[in-house]
Amino acid sequence: MTGAAKIAGVIGWPVAHSLSPRLHGYWLAHYNVDGAYLPLPVPPESFAEVLCLLPAMGMAGVNLTIPHKQTALEAVDEIDDVAKRIGAVNTIIVRDDKSLFGTNTDARGFLANLKAGAPAWAADSGPAVLIGAGGAARAIAVALLDAGVPELRIVNRTVARATELADALGDPVKVHRWDDRSEILAETALVVNTTSLGMIGQPALDIDTGGLSVGTVVMDIVYSPLETPFLTAARAAGAVTVDGLGMLLHQAAPGFAAWFGVEPEVTPELRTHVLADHVSETGDT
């Protein structure tokens, strides 16, 4: 690093679990960038103050993780349409005029990972199913609607949350009862688990994959383990499976490009590097 190094980081509370420093650190070294990416533990009561100081400290920008992604919607100077619709900011860019621009790269990361893992999938291949209706489901729903899926089926344990998502997102979204989660897999092109079920320490997603068509793409946002029991069962039923690590890696690329001026690539070497020694979680920054 020189005195002119560009500085970015991830703000969270806690932040020690975040894989982002390891991920951006790999790219910084690989592309020989004069820069640094830091874990920044900031409690909620200090978040607004810390955001205001980013331009004064000459920082290029930050990623946000729990619990700051929603708070940031009101705390930055401008957000784009995708952050507004997802209802969360995960990437902030400090602009030349010192203002803060907030976006959300989860939808782009999801689609990039899907295209990389299942190149034959196309939005018009058929209906898509989302299992879960939390923050991750919302980002993926926005991605799939923008891509042009003809029908999006959402199934969630708490049906009111799925209805709220459907009401916010509009027409091709249909809400289904949790008890019908196995039946609605029939004749679909894509199924995504957005819940934490299947993660190490959590029960598996209890669903019958027998009704999946051969060739349906099945993705899990859980990446610890990389192959969840749901993905194992889906593969046995003839599905094409995509694990959740790629979404985390791909969502990081736009921020890196904006802060450090290099468009980074998601490679098998990056996957191996990020996985070494990692602990936990779902596809969160």
Q: What positions carry a catalytic annotation?
A: 69
Phi-psi region of 201 (alpha: psi -120 to 50; beta: other; left: phi over 0): left
* 134 binding ligand ATR? (CB under 6 A): yes
Closest residue by beta carbon to ligand ATR: 134
Quickly count: other Cβ atoms within 10 Å of residue 119's Cβ: 9
Task: Name the 3-class secondary structure at 224.
Answer: coil
Q: Which two tokens stand for residue 211?
A: 């009704």
Which stretch in 34-42, 46-54, 95-103, 135-143 sits in contact with ligand ATR by CB under 6 A?
135-143
Closest-CA residue to 91 (of 224, 250, 268)? 250
| CB-nearer residue toward ligand ATR: 33 or 128 | 128
Position 161 contacts ligand ATR (CB under 6 A): yes
By the rule CB under 6 A, 177 interacts with ligand ATR = no
Query: Which H, E and C letters describe 94-144, residue by residue?
Result: ECCCCCEEEECCHHHHHHHHHHHHCCCCCHHHCCEEEECCCHHHHHHHHHH
**Which residue of 156, 188, 224, 241 would you call a contact of ligand ATR, by CB under 6 A?**
156
Q: Say which residue the tokens 């400290």 belong to.
A: 57
Distance CA 108, CA 220 (A): 16
196 sits near ligand ATR (criterion: CB under 6 A):
yes
User: 100 to each of 53, 91, 106, 155, 253, how far by Cα in Å?
Assistant: 11, 10, 19, 36, 19
Interaction between residue 158 and ligand ATR (CB under 6 A): yes
157 is a site residue for ligand ATR (CB under 6 A): yes
Pick 207 or 212: Cβ nearer ligand ATR: 207
Q: Identify which of residues 135 and 255 has a Cβ nearer to ligand ATR in the complex.
A: 135
Q: Which is nearer to ligand ATR, 156 or 216 (CB)?
A: 156
Amino acid identity of residue 119, one-letter, is P
By the rule CB under 6 A, 163 interacts with ligand ATR: no
Per-residue binder mask for ligand ATR (CB under 6 A), 16-55, x = binder: ----------------------------------------
**Spatial distance between the Cα atoms of 248 and 79, rounded to a whole number of angstroms:** 21
Interface residues with ligand ATR (CB under 6 A) are 132-137, 156-158, 161, 194-197, 282
